[in-house]
Each structure stands twice: as C-alpha cells, then as structure tokens.
Structure 1
C-alpha cells in the first residue's frame, strides 16, 4: 500500500494567453502567471480525460448499494493500529491490499475465512461487512471484521454457527491442529477458538485466536495471531472488542430496502477524480471514504490519521488515483508538506511535474513513481510504473479539480 497524502499548491486564477486590457487607449499584453502558480494551458495531460464525469446517480440495484453501504461502514471499523500502534504494516489478504468492503454475497467471505464459516454466515441473513488487517512481521497479526446481519437474532445465531463451523473445519496444517475454546478477557459472550502451529522454515510457533461475537445486528469477527502466546492473541481480541462495540454503535445503518437509493458519489468529488479503466475496477476503488475509513488504505495510518485531523480531511475518494478534501487551501498545503516528508522516506527524488510548481515525485524502489500535489483545497496522489505517465495523470487531475 502506498502512502496517501500529498503536496499542496495554492491555485490562483490566471489570465490565459490572448487576454488583454486597455489602459489610456494603449493596448497592454496580459501579464503571465505569477511565480508558483499553475498555468493550466502549459500542462500536458496526454490522453487522459480532463473533463469531470457526469453525475453518477444512485446505486439502482441492491448489490451495488450493499457495497456502497459497506464502504460507509468502514468509517466505523476499528483499525488494528487503534488496538496496538505497532500494528501498521500491510497484511494483504484475498485480492486486497489489507482492507476491503465485503459485498452482500457471502461467498466473498472466503477471502477472510474458510468456506464453511462463510456459508454459516450466509445461512443467517448476512448483509455486508468490512475487513481490515495489519501485522508486525514475525510477531503478531490482527484481522478485524465487522459483519452486518439482518437483525440481532440473526447475529447471535451466526456468531455461534460460525464458531462451530470454524471448529469443525480447521485449516489444514502439518501437523494437523485442533481448535479449542478459549475465554476472551472481559467478553464472556465471545465465541472464541485457539490453536498453535509451527511456522514453516523458522523456529517460531504461532498462537492464533479466532473470535465471533454478536453485538446488536453485527458479528464482530477477529483473528489474532502472536508468536508470544495464546493469551497475548486473546488480549488483542479483547482490546479490539472493547473499541469495536462502541464504535459500530455510532454507525447509522441504511435499511437494506433502501440500498438502491444510495448515491454513488455523495460528495461529488469522485466524478472529479481520474476515472478507473473498466478492467481495473474492484471493490476498493470508485469509492468515497470518510477520513477514518481511508486510513485502512494508508501505509502509515497512525501518522496519517494525525495529519488528516490537523488538515480537516473529511472526504477521500479513490478512483484511478486518490484525492483528499481538506478544510481549505492552507490545510491542503499543510497536508502536502507532511506527505512530502513521508514520500522522501520511501525512495529517491524524481523530476516534478512539468509546469506544476509545488508538485513532487518519488521513485519508489523498483515499483514505480509516486507523485503528489494540491489544487485549491484538494490534495491528490498518483502512482505509475513510468514517470512521464505519472506526470500526465497529475496534469489531468489538476485540470479536472480546477475546472469551472
């Protein structure tokens, strides 16, 4: 996962070439752009679109609405770093970078658990969910998942059934493992199982705890792993439940019957982001996140969360790039400055975007190039394997964000 914040530039309206003023009957050529401003006429967007998309309308179909609702839920899902600030390293799972909204089809839960547990959720009125995971490599891992069921009764039945399915269908390991029940401190209602297994190729032994806890209409699901002990893994689950229960209670859920009416672009900002190529669309893009929800996709959520708060970030959209809406232009500059410092730690400086003062690009090891800048109150961040392509994406995004 890449860092998600970026440099800022105060955008000043400029008079384009060919504009003139008459003073005392003498023709005067218009002054050029002031230093440190951007003349959009000089930007090269290549073949990238510079026109915002048309309004996106409503979900229209229940499945699309269920996914939009899952993205909304992400703002109320506790990140592993909230439980333990050391848990910041990405832990990819399924086809995700370490976080993903879970649409209404229960088969999608196979990205986070065995098929029998996914089927148990589906048998008890599963609606949707959100999953997030981080690790301290070689020491501990924490998955935190919130699953919405149709009602509290369904959640209670699902939590018990999912735990039983997990116990009856352990992951195949060598040597085979047996899952046994374990108590979660402070949470006697949790249905929790533990097992230990040696890590292949090392001398480490991992101790895992899987927990399924009904909380209102939700199943709070965790998988914690520790090389220290089962008690250490259970303590991670306990702390997660301490935080997650109250947090999800703040979520104002949408009636599933209303899912088709949910807006695809509630803020209007997604239409102004670089559009995703159809072949690249997945559950994590074409999405609008709240500030906390966006942290599930950041390389350093602890650091970034503080910077988001300082800059008043309230909307983040992920299309072909990332765009962050801050409190104002000064806040955007502030966020960009913080982003530059983080980007410098990830690689070596590369050429900035031509004719875009205030832009910054970094070559990220052998992965490609990350560029960042700001337009008005927006900070934006692109990534490409080729620097000229990154430059063109940046130019197109700037033009779209500043279009009248």
Structure 2
C-alpha cells in the first residue's frame, strides 16, 4: 500500500539524546591516576555490572540479543545515498504485529504463517524533522524493514505473499515494476504518486523497502530502491541467520561494555531499548543527524556503544580508538543536545557538563555530564546538577574499576 506514511513508534530520536547502590568504592589508585575512592558518588554503585548481575540465557534475552546483532547490519541513510542524512527512527520487531508498524496491516497473517522470528526497521530522509516530527511533503525518504525467517524457503514465500497483499490494496491503480539489478525483487508503484514499494528475499531474510521522492519519476524511484538493496544486501550476506537454539546461546556483553555502564538498579537483562550494546551502525539508528555523527564517530574510531536506561537512569558509554580519540570525542559529545555550559565536577579530569535547552519535557533530563577514561567516553544525566555530578563520579570510578 503505497499511500501509507512511515509509522514509526517511540524510537524517533533527536541528535544524541539516546537517551547508581552502595557508596563504597573498591579499587586502588594506580600511579598518576586519580584515587577514585575519594570521589563523591552519593548512593551510586561503582562495581562492574557483572559483579551485581548474572545473565541466565532465556528466550526473551536471546531475542533481544538477536535484535542488537541485526541492528548492527541494517543500513543507515548515508550508506544508501549521501542525501539521506537524517534518521527518522527505528522499530525493533519481536512479533508480526509489531512488523505492521512499517508493513501493511494485512501482512500480519503472512508473517505469522511463515514463522517470522524477529526484525528491525529503520527510516531515513533528506531533511531534518520539524517540531511535530512530520515528514515534509517534498522530502526524499526510505523505510527499510529487515525480517528473519526460519529458512530460505519461508523467506521467499513470505516476500512473494507480502507483495501480493500489498499490491491488492490498490490493485486498480498499482503497476508492477521490474528492477534491472534485482530480478528476484517484487516491486510496484502507483503512476503519478512519488513512492514505490519493493520486497526481496535474501537467504533467510526479507528486505522490505518503501521509498519516496519529491516527484513521481519511476526511473529515479527504481534507482533509489536499487541503492537500498546495493547497501543492505551485502550486510545480510555477512550475517549468518540464527535458529532458535542459536538465539538462546548468544553471548551477553561480549566486549564488556554494559559492565562499564552506570546502572544504579543493577538489573542487566538484555533489552534493545534500555539495556543494550551496539557497534557504530546500531548507534546511528538512534540519532537524527546520521551524517554528522557518522563522521564524528568514524574520526575517533568508535566501534562499540552501550546504553543503560530506566525511569531513574540514562547512561551511555562509547569505546574509541585510543585515549587521544576519547579526549577528542568528549569535546563534541554534548554540543548539539546539551549545548548550554554547566559546571563540571572539579575532581574529575576533563569532565564536561551541559544543560538542555528543552523545557517541560519529562523525557529529557536537565543536565548531562561526560567523562573520559583511557579509550572510553561515558555520559550520565540528572535533573539536579549535584546528582549529575555524583553520577559522573560513579561512572568515572566504574570505568577505572573495570578491566
């Protein structure tokens, strides 16, 4: 159905807003380093998470780990086309109903009957969002949904049936389109309407594309769809499909990012929205200005990112190339979303704090502070500056206490 808009849910992000119990600090100061035992950390724990939480493999955790793994292999806007600088959100998909946030509602039974396992959907466009979050009428955009099925046969069948149902929603107006580079793709458009839909099976995966331009020019629309497949297909070719046993056995926090991330509650169950670790691409799905942050993060060699979020906490950790790169990143980490300078905790070397210009937004904390230790940069948030300082101190101590 090519008349539908992008129906992204709660993860429509703004620039880098992706979006602690005992006070005793363990550890011993090394030569030339701050003695973190002297820091004022308030109530926030400074022990690595794995000393307070143990992950026991289960289906829910495995599904979320599978989503994180897939997110790292789903294409970003600038990888498709340099014009598509801005992300419009991401939708993690754990069931067929959630997939209808970006696919037509009528496809839900098809997804269920073919055994859809999980998926991830992302959006991009060439203009930033307005205050309402709506897409301007003349904006170029893509919506890319990647779903994994139990087998290649199931994926092929699902792709064909998705196209049939989508086409039939406006059968009197839609026309089939053949892509010269991707003969296996099922594609259609509605003449006079500047959008196009396409779906293609790739191994056990299904890639669904919904894209639009300012003008209803079929050659340019098909070119855009082929650009999506050019960028997305190789990423999936490099990602071995999982079966349900594989999902159950996925390793938790393999690079030790979550153990380094401030988590006051000590609850570490994998959750792609609130307790997760990603590579660069997975991080970029969570910000608006993907072009800007892609350049920033590539310049500092950022290869791993983690977040720990709850009602009382929002913390992030970035792993960069080396100490110098981390020091470069901390100089820009607050500039767009927390641009108003705020006092930093004096005891922590190179710490930075900023105040948000956003008012009356319950989801945005007033202050964000950033600290750096070796190749890591971390951010914490609080509505009171003293609390933000204590969180920053606990996060810094946590980084020094991790190995």
Q: TM-score range by the shorter chain?
A: 0.7 to 0.9
Residue 154 of structure 1 is matched in structure 2 by: 154
Q: TM-score, normalised by structure 2?
A: 0.78
Post-superposition offset of 1:222: 1.2
Shift of 1:317: 1.1
Cα distance in 1, alignment partners of residues 29 and 398 from structure 2: 18
Over residues 330-372 of structure 1, what are the superposed CA-to-partner deviations in whole Å (9 max), with x where a residue is unaligned?
A: 22113223435xx158632222234223122222321533332
Whether 2:363 is the aligned partner of 1:375: answer no
With over 3 angstroms needed to count, the CA separation of the structure-2 counterparts of 1:361 and 1:228, relative to structure 1, is farther
Counterpart CA distance in 1 for 2:391 and 2:216 is 48
Cα RMSD after superposing both structures: 3.2
Q: Given the superposition, is the C-alpha separation of residues 225 and 393 from structure 1 closer, same or farther in structure 2, using an over 3 Å criterion?
A: farther
Which stretch shows the higher mean deviation, 229-238 or 218-227? 229-238
Any idea what the Cα deviations from partners look like across 1:45-81, whole Å, max 9, x if unmatched? 3333322223655562233212211211222211122
Q: Are 1:225 and 2:206 matched, yes or no? A: no
Deviation at 1:195, TM superposition (A): 4.0
Q: CA 1:401/1:345 → structure 2, altered by over 3 Å: closer, same or farther?
A: closer
The answer as to 2:125 corresponding to 1:125 is no
Distance in 2 separating the partners of 1:179 and 1:283: 37
In 2, the alpha carbon distance for the partners of 1:242 and 1:86 equals 16
Q: Provide the C-alpha distance between the structure 2 equivalents of 1:345 and 1:265, rounded to a whole number of angstroms.
A: 28
Measure the CA separation in 2 of the matches of 1:387 and 1:113.
43
Please report how far the alpha carbon of residue 159 of structure 1 lies from its aligned counterpart in structure 2 after TM superposition. Answer: 0.5
Mean Cα displacement is larger for which, 156-165 or 311-320?
Answer: 311-320
Q: Alignment partner for residue 46 of structure 1, among 33, 42, 45?
A: 42
Alignment equivalent of 1:262, drawn from 239, 250, 264: 250
CA distance in 2, matches of 1:391, 1:84: 41
Paired position in structure 1 for 2:259: 271
Q: Give aligned pairs, total.
A: 357
- The worse-fitting range, judged by mean Cα deviation, of 154-163 and 123-132 is 123-132
Larger radius of gyration: 1
Q: 1:403 to 1:244 in 2, by over 3 A?
A: same
Q: Distance in 2 between matches of 1:235 and 1:158?
A: 24
- Of residues 326, 335, 349, the one that matches 2:341 is 349
Runs of 5+ unmatched residues, structure 1: 6-12, 17-32, 92-97, 171-175, 198-205
RCO greater where, 1 or 2, for CA within 8 Å and sep 6 or more?
Answer: 1
Give the corresponding residue for 2:202. 215
**Once the two structures are superposed, what CA deviation does each residue of 1:89-123 show, in whole Å capped at 9, x if it has no partner?**
331xxxxxx124322x2222122223222331222
1:168 aligns with 2:146: no
Aligned 8 A contact 1:100 1:283 in 2: no
Q: Deviation at 1:289? A: 0.8
Q: In structure 1, what is the equivalent of residue 352 of structure 2?
A: 360
- Name stretches of at least 5 consecutive residues in structure 2 with no aligned partner: 1-12, 18-26, 128-135, 310-314, 359-363
* CA distance 1:196–1:385, shift in 2 (3 Å): farther
- Contact 2:152/2:204 (<8 A) preserved: yes
Contact 1:100 1:284 in 2 (8 A): no
Structure-1 separation of matches of 2:349 and 2:295:
26
| Match for residue 124 of structure 2 among 111, 128, 134 | 134
Which runs of 4 or more aligned residues in structure 1 lie more than 6 Å from their structure 2 counterparts after TM superposition?
Answer: none
Match of 1:312 in 2: 301
CA distance in 1, matches of 2:99, 2:113: 13
